[in-house]
Amino acid sequence: MYHLCILFVLTGLNCGTQQDTNKNLLVHALRTYSGITIDGTLDELIWRATQPILLKKNHTSPYNADSIRQTLVRVCYDSLNLYISFECMDVDIWGTFDKRDQHLWTEEAVEVFVDVDNNENDYVEIEVSPKNTLFDSFIVDTLNIDVSATSKFNLPGIRTAVAVRGTLNHQHDNDSSWTVEISVPFRDLEAHFDKRKITDLTWKINFYRINRDDGKMAEYFAWSPTGGKFHRPSVFGTLKFTDR
């Protein structure tokens, strides 16, 4: 953990609320009182004030300190929406899918799993590709996921945007990074959401990234590594909301 903090200091980042084991991982979402423009560029003040989470290699669990594949996640909220951003270092940014609910996990994507009721049997899955294609589903059986059935679920108010620093789908040059902004209305996630009690909520959450550079093996990253299949809600971390 101390080495990670030194890395963040050297790169101008702050250490996020995270620990070196899967147990008791906690992230605090800061409240913003200013609007966020969902355009993929993280230029709002709240993103600079929000401590980043560094994703780890999913199978081996060490922090991914390789700067060309580093992935940073930030979380904040206002009275209506949950906001999540990803900053993905990537030398080869690509994606072919352009229709909602295509199988983004077979290419490059970032993913968020959100469990609002702490029931490990069901949770929302969100994926976004570098081409800003969305996959959203509601998982009800982690051992036997019926993709065609679960993907019929749609978050009606979700908004996403991607900004690419490089050239999308040109695999013979060197790209830099792609950033994602996601906005999800609380009422899309919890039907009886009460904004007056938001700081009392304790949700379970996990963040992931799939990277597939041209000609190389796929790489899998997670905030709370699962050791294999991403769909292991027992190791999700905890999301809390703060006004501070």
pLDDT at 64: 62
Task: State the DSSP string of 17-59.
Answer: S--SSSTT-EEEEEE-SS----SS---SHHHHHSPPEEPEETT
Q: What is the mean pLDDT of the chain?
A: 88
pLDDT at 23: 57
pLDDT digits 0-9 by tens, 138-173: 999 998 999 999 999 999 999 999 999 999 999 888
Token output for 100: 């909602």
Q: Domains of the chain: which residue ranges?
A: 2-242
Indicate the pLDDT class of residue 15, thresholds 50, 70 and 90.
Answer: very low
Token output for 86: 């990803």
pLDDT digits 0-9 by tens, 166-185: 999 998 888 999 999 999 99
Tell which wins on pLDDT, 39 or 196.
39
Give the separation between CA 81 and CA 57, rounded to whole angstroms: 29
Please check whether residue 149 is in contact with residue 28, taking contact to mean a CB–CB distance below 8 angstroms. Answer: no
CATH no., domain 2-242: 2.60.40.1190
pLDDT digits 0-9 by tens, 210-225: 999 977 889 999 999 9
Q: Specify the pTM.
A: 0.89
pLDDT at 104: 97
pLDDT at 22: 53
- Asked whether residue 85 carries a pLDDT value surpassing 50, the answer given is yes
Cα dihedral 66→4→57→48 (10° resolution): -80
Give the separation between CA 220 and CA 228, rounded to whole angstroms: 9
Indicate the pLDDT class of residue 206, thresholds 50, 70 and 90.
Answer: very high
Tell which wins on pLDDT, 99 or 16.
99
Average pLDDT score over residue span 43-59: 94
pLDDT at 60: 77
